Chains A and B, each alone.
Chain A
Amino acid sequence: MDFLNGFVALSNFVLIPAIAYGSQLALGALGVTLIYGILRFSNFAHGDTMAFGAMVAVLVTWWFQGMGLSLGPLPTALLALPFAILGTMALVLITDRMVYRFYRTQKAKPVILVIVSMGVMFVMNGVVRFIIGPNDQKFLDGERFIISVREFKQMTGLREGLAIKTTQGLTVVVAVICVIALFWFMNRTRTGKSMRAYSDNEDLALLSGINPERVVMYTWMIVAALTAIAGTLYGLDKTFKPFVYFMLLLPIFASAIVGGLGSPLGAIAGGYIVAFSEVMITYAWKKVLTYWMPESLEPDGLVQLLSTDYKFAVSFVILIVVLLFKPTGIFKGKSV
């Protein structure tokens, strides 16, 4: 019984939040990794593109709510998701046409493109704040919980409770669907194959008649879909606030680099590695250990390795360690 109680407490505070957070990071890191693999630069504007996508979702959700549309127990934001994806696609394609294409035709060095993307980041940041303001916005509706703590306790009679939020379940399901769809697209379709060919060897791909502008366009569209979905899911699960997406940039890049930049599989693994390390290192293990340890060994202190204030420091440390010892990441991506 003690073991079960401990496991439930661990799931409630560590496993479930970390899986949901990891899925959000994985979707974000997939976008970063695709851009890096195919367009060959680190896109710093990624966080703010997520914010833009989520913002469109918020606005459309409000509009739907105003009209009385809803999905019953599911959040209305799911209905708004296609609009968010289209809006984000429009934004990134316009940005590419107006900014990135100029540098691409000049064959600018990746480091120049990185700086350019920082400029784009500031502009997008401003656009989002200008449209929706810098504050928290609420757009979650529908049923809050799949299982709430009280229901779980009644069901099982355990002392510890377990809550699974609808948004957490949704995040994982949507992330799995996205990943399957992405891999199917990359491995089975003609466009996907041409994208991989372009990523592997640009010159060879051009020689075999692949249209580079089309590859670039499809890449941006896929990335836009991923970012809009990741941004909206994060906003639903946590809260929508423009500045928060800017801060997400660090864990997202850490995930992409840990997994190996350019490797989609690596981005997913990286997302979960970063999420689990952040949550587990800042979690106070006292409660779980009290259940699991024999009475004589029960801890007095909180058994917390790092204060929660240092959550982002964990991503930093992971980033530095990986760059120092294994710059290509776990899945042998391109070195940075």
Chain B
Amino acid sequence: MKKLLMASAATALMAGAAHAEDVKIGVILGFTGPIESLTPAMAGGAEVAMKEVTDSGKLLGGATVTPVRADSTCIDAGAATAAAERLITSEGVKGIMGADCSGVTGAVLANVAVPNGVVMISPSATSPALSSAEDNGLFFRTSPSDARQGQVLATVLMERGFKSAAITYTNNDYGKGLSDSIAAAFEAAGGEVTTIAAHEDGKADYSAEVGALAAAGGDILIVAGYVDQGGPGVIRAALDTGAFDTFALPDGMIGSALEEAFGDEIEGSIGTVPGSDAADASMVKEKVSATGADASGPYVGESYDAAALIMLAMQAAGSSDPSAYSGKIMDVANAPGEKIMAGELDKALELIAAGTEIDYVGATAVELIGPGEAAGGYREIVIEGGKITTAQYR
């Protein structure tokens, strides 16, 4: 009799567990490598969204969401592919928040996500080449393509009166794509690009690179690099030799490491980071800061939104099967419907369950266009008093 009771109790427990599904979502970011100081906060952003949904208990009738982290390394496509493969085959994730850098994102998409039919939403891969990647409708990004960033940066430069510029970029997909788009947009706006030269990350000394850039001259130096890698080295060498004293810095160069390294030495330098004033990421950043990560870097809100979109689409499709919910992502992200801000995932899940349409705004005013990428709002920053300050939103 006792055994029978035990057995039935066990069965009941198992049935209960099967009912409240546990959905795993992969978080593939470069926890080691050139943007390792940015990624803990990005992962934190995604995990804030997952915790919010789990706590609400409203996803697919009470499912819990568990994040599974994996290391993309940002630069090693082989390592990133292996990490993603492990997430899908051994962890059984239903969607991937990631990857981060453009090169590895393309590799994971082509080698893992598409063959396995898993949805991937990248918070930070910005290479224009990804817009035309073969994705079977599985790939989205909550950050805009760099083609857009190039235009914005060129406009900022012209408005602030910089008529000629030298460009140096980190020698990879991200750097090349970005520098091409900046150069094209700047020249179209009437500016003069004096030279475009690549720099390799991880060198001790960039005085030779800066010597060449200085010979070409220009009002400002555009450094399309990474803040944890060669970027600060190039700026340091340029300052030391007096070659340039103001810099234009795209998203990969904006972070608190920049303030720490240079302070007011680069006073008046400008930059652009994805961001929007139509939405407020401060709630996400506060929650991420509370976990001990440094949330001052970019893409924290984008990461929150990427994870939120995956879960809201699951709710809309009534299933955590990627093939079922991939078609719903554009629906929940865009109008028409009730606007959902960051921190309102509870309400969103309820509305979807009740059959109401939603328009997810989230932390970064998400609006997906074309092949599923953000339309692109940018925050124009300027270094004032040694601090990164917001000039305006574009």
Main secondary structure of the interface of A (DSSP, over half): helix
Taken together as a complex, chains A and B put the C-alpha atoms of A288 and B131 apart, in Å, by 43
Given A239-B233, A241-B204, A287-B217; A304-B240 close (CB under 8 Å): no
- The answer on a CB contact under 8 Å between B204 and A287 is no
Given A244-B203, A284-B215, A287-B214; A163-B208 close (CB under 8 Å): no
Q: How far is the CB of B170 from chain A (nearest CB, A)?
A: 12
- The answer on a CB contact under 8 Å between A284 and B240 is no
Taken together as a complex, chains A and B put the C-alpha atoms of A161 and B205 apart, in Å, by 20
B209 at interface (Cβ–Cβ under 8 A)? yes
Look across to chain B and name the residue whose beta carbon is closest to the beta carbon of A243. Answer: B202
- The answer on a CB contact under 8 Å between A285 and B215 is yes
- The answer on a CB contact under 8 Å between A302 and B216 is yes
B242 at interface (Cβ–Cβ under 8 A)? yes
- The answer on a CB contact under 8 Å between B212 and A309 is no
B172 at interface (Cβ–Cβ under 8 A)? no
- The answer on a CB contact under 8 Å between B216 and A244 is no
Main secondary structure of the interface of B (DSSP, over half): mixed
Given A302-B212, A304-B212; A13-B207 close (CB under 8 Å): yes
Kindly list chain A residues whose C-beta atoms are within 8 Å of the C-beta of B215. 13, 283-288, 302-304
Look across to chain B and name the residue whose beta carbon is closest to the beta carbon of A153. Answer: B242
Kindly list chain A residues whose C-beta atoms are within 8 Å of the C-beta of B241. 12-13, 149, 161, 163
Instruction: Count residues of A near B (Cβ-Cβ below 8 Å).
Output: 36
A307 at interface (Cβ–Cβ under 8 A)? yes
Look across to chain A and name the residue whose beta carbon is closest to the beta carbon of B215. Answer: A284
- The answer on a CB contact under 8 Å between A163 and B242 is yes
B289 at interface (Cβ–Cβ under 8 A)? no
- The answer on a CB contact under 8 Å between B205 and A239 is yes
A150 at interface (Cβ–Cβ under 8 A)? yes
Instruction: Count residues of B near A (Cβ-Cβ below 8 Å).
Output: 25
Contact of B242 among A12, A238, A239, A285 (CB under 8 A): A12
Look across to chain B and name the residue whose beta carbon is closest to the beta carbon of A152. Answer: B242
- The answer on a CB contact under 8 Å between A279 and B233 is no
Look across to chain A and name the residue whose beta carbon is closest to the beta carbon of B36. Answer: A135
Contact of A17 among B199, B200, B207, B233 (CB under 8 A): B207
Taken together as a complex, chains A and B put the C-alpha atoms of A283 and B214 apart, in Å, by 10
Kindly list chain B residues whose C-beta atoms are within 8 Å of the C-beta of A150. 242
A334 at interface (Cβ–Cβ under 8 A)? no
A165 at interface (Cβ–Cβ under 8 A)? yes
Q: How far is the CB of A165 from chain B (nearest CB, A)?
A: 6
B68 at interface (Cβ–Cβ under 8 A)? no
Kindly list chain B residues whose C-beta atoms are within 8 Å of the C-beta of A335. none
Against A, the Cβ 8 Å flags (1 = close, 0 = not) of B114-140 are: 000000000000000000000000000
Against A, the Cβ 8 Å flags (1 = close, 0 = not) of B190-218 are: 00000101111011110111111011110
- The answer on a CB contact under 8 Å between B217 and A311 is no
Kindly list chain B residues whose C-beta atoms are within 8 Å of the C-beta of A311. 208
Interface centre among B202, B211, B233, B242 (most CB of A within 10 A): B211
Given A238-B204, A308-B209; A13-B214 close (CB under 8 Å): yes
Contact of B197 among A243, A286, A307 (CB under 8 A): A307
Q: How far is the CB of A139 from chain B (nearest CB, A)?
A: 14
Given A163-B242, A309-B198; A283-B212 close (CB under 8 Å): yes
A194 at interface (Cβ–Cβ under 8 A)? no
Taken together as a complex, chains A and B put the C-alpha atoms of A303 and B195 apart, in Å, by 12
Look across to chain B and name the residue whose beta carbon is closest to the beta carbon of A14. Answer: B211
Taken together as a complex, chains A and B put the C-alpha atoms of A278 and B171 apart, in Å, by 21
Given A238-B205, A239-B205, A283-B211; A163-B198 close (CB under 8 Å): no
Q: How far is the CB of A10 from chain B (nearest CB, A)?
A: 10
Given A239-B233, A287-B214, A302-B215; A282-B208 close (CB under 8 Å): yes
A234 at interface (Cβ–Cβ under 8 A)? yes
Taken together as a complex, chains A and B put the C-alpha atoms of A183 and B111 apart, in Å, by 61
Taken together as a complex, chains A and B put the C-alpha atoms of A238 and B237 apart, in Å, by 9
Against B, the Cβ 8 Å flags (1 = close, 0 = not) of A156-195 are: 0000010101000000000000000000000000000000
- The answer on a CB contact under 8 Å between A244 and B208 is no
Q: How far is the CB of A292 from chain B (nearest CB, A)?
A: 13
Look across to chain A and name the residue whose beta carbon is closest to the beta carbon of B242. Answer: A149
A-B interface, 5 closest residue pairs, ranked by CB to CB distance from nearest: A149-B242, A284-B215, A238-B204, A161-B242, A13-B211
Measured CB to CB, the residues of B under 8 A from A are 171, 195, 197-200, 202-205, 207-212, 214-217, 233, 240-243
Measured CB to CB, the residues of A under 8 A from B are 12-14, 17, 21, 144-145, 148-150, 161, 163, 165, 234, 237-239, 241, 243-244, 278-279, 282-288, 302-304, 307-309, 311
Q: Name 10 A/B residue pairs within 8 A (Cβ), A-sorted.
A: A14-B211, A17-B207, A17-B211, A239-B205, A244-B203, A282-B211, A284-B212, A302-B195, A307-B212, A309-B200
Beyond A287-B214, A308-B209, A309-B200: 12 further Cβ-contacts under 8 Å? Answer: A17-B208, A144-B240, A163-B240, A241-B204, A244-B204, A284-B212, A284-B216, A302-B212, A304-B215, A308-B199, A309-B198, A311-B208
